Structure 1
């Protein structure tokens, strides 16, 4: 493992993987923030100490909470594959400049995707940021497959 951390591409991958994973993890506290500020809870035990009338008002969905939850779900669907594919990609020995381009574009696209989703920015901003991140992951997958299939 120590030898891997001496490899510039692998170190770069771990940096950007950590950035997008932390970004994804912050969506949980953001969901909680929106739940509390919008008074929107989904579980009976979350409002157990409230009166029956207050519980009825608070056990509901709110568009802002659902927006954050969908953004978090989208992160799970895109960041997890990026981490797996990115790890395999880093192990194929790509040029550092190509790897940096892939990792930076993906991280930037996911950060922008979150901003476009939460704010919300008009389409096609969110769709383009999602498509960009997906394109990066597919590009790395292509490099992996073309390297493996040539062996």
Structure 2
């Protein structure tokens, strides 16, 4: 079974693009930590206490506009990449045409990278909204295609 998956070009393409967007999402955690540390902005008392080294740790428990921007971008990744991975896996296993699958996977990955650039730069709207919508529609397209193939609609 595993050999069949590895030999399946659509599955390999899915695994590649899913890995790309998952690593991108994981890097958002690192970016959030970087922003928190460099701006000395913490959400938890124990983190602030470690930063203050015996001083007033309460001044480090606060919010910061840039930290929150990175956190919201990461949250948006969680809300979109996790469904892509689930739907994309089912789509890849439904035996779609390779060119159609590649189009779906590439557009989704590109839209998520563009969304992050739009969010963190920040670029004016509707750039971020359009990049979000594009990825969302790709995931819906894969879901409907999978249902159509599996339900014979």
Return 5+ residue gaps in structure 2 as ranges.
none
TM-score by length of 1: 0.96
- What displacement does 1:143 show? 0.4
Alignment partner, residue 64 of structure 1? 66
Structure 1 runs of 4+ aligned residues shifted over 3 Å read none
1:85-111 CA-to-partner distances (Å, cap 9, x unmatched) read 000001111111100000000000000
Alignment partner, residue 126 of structure 2? 124
- Secondary structure in 1 aligned to 2:124? coil
1:46 aligns with 2:47: yes
Number of residue pairs aligned between Structure 1 and Structure 2: 150
Alignment partner, residue 11 of structure 2? 10
- What displacement does 1:3 show? 1.0
Q: Which moved more, 1:41-50 or 1:90-99?
A: 41-50
- What displacement does 1:126 show? 0.4
Alignment partner, residue 104 of structure 2? 102
Aligned partner (choices 91, 94, 118) of residue 92 of structure 1:
94
- Secondary structure in 1 aligned to 2:43? coil
- What displacement does 1:56 show? 2.6
Distance 2:140 2:69 in 1: 26
- What displacement does 1:2 show? 1.2
TM-score by length of 2: 0.94
Return 5+ residue gaps in structure 1 as ranges.
none
1:50-77 CA-to-partner distances (Å, cap 9, x unmatched) read 2443x23211000100111111111001
